Structure 1
Amino acid sequence: MPNYNILVTSRTALPGYSFTYNLKPLNDEDATTLLCYSASLQDGSSHISVEVIKKLQLGDSM
């Protein structure tokens, strides 16, 4: 796609990419901030309840 850059993130190295940059995992506070910033709920808001965030962090099914 011309004039576009695509960023691919993964917890493991992906074959076929000539350049990799190792990032440290986000701490809980930064991960929560990123989630809330980038989430878009059905009502158009990005407010996510603390309970939902805790479930996501623990990997629990909702």
Structure 2
Amino acid sequence: MESGPEAFAGAAFALFGAGLLLWTGVCVRTGAPVAEGVRPAVGTTAALLFGVVFLGAGCWMLALL
């Protein structure tokens, strides 16, 4: 019963992190800005950092099941 919300949260975090990393990679590859009004290096670094953090948190939650 208690693993349901944990599985949902883990899947949501993992999907968001993977999506953010994929989107950042596509933006960097095409030369599109990652974030509006932010220097490209700062936006890319922040997006990569948060993508890895969210993906890691999701995998960690799913590993605890």
Q: Into which bin does the TM-score normalised by the smaller protein fall?
A: under 0.3
- Going by fraction, where is helix more abundant, 1 or 2? 2
Rg comparison, structure with higher value: 1
TM-score (norm. length: structure 2) = 0.24
Q: TM-score, normalised by structure 1?
A: 0.25
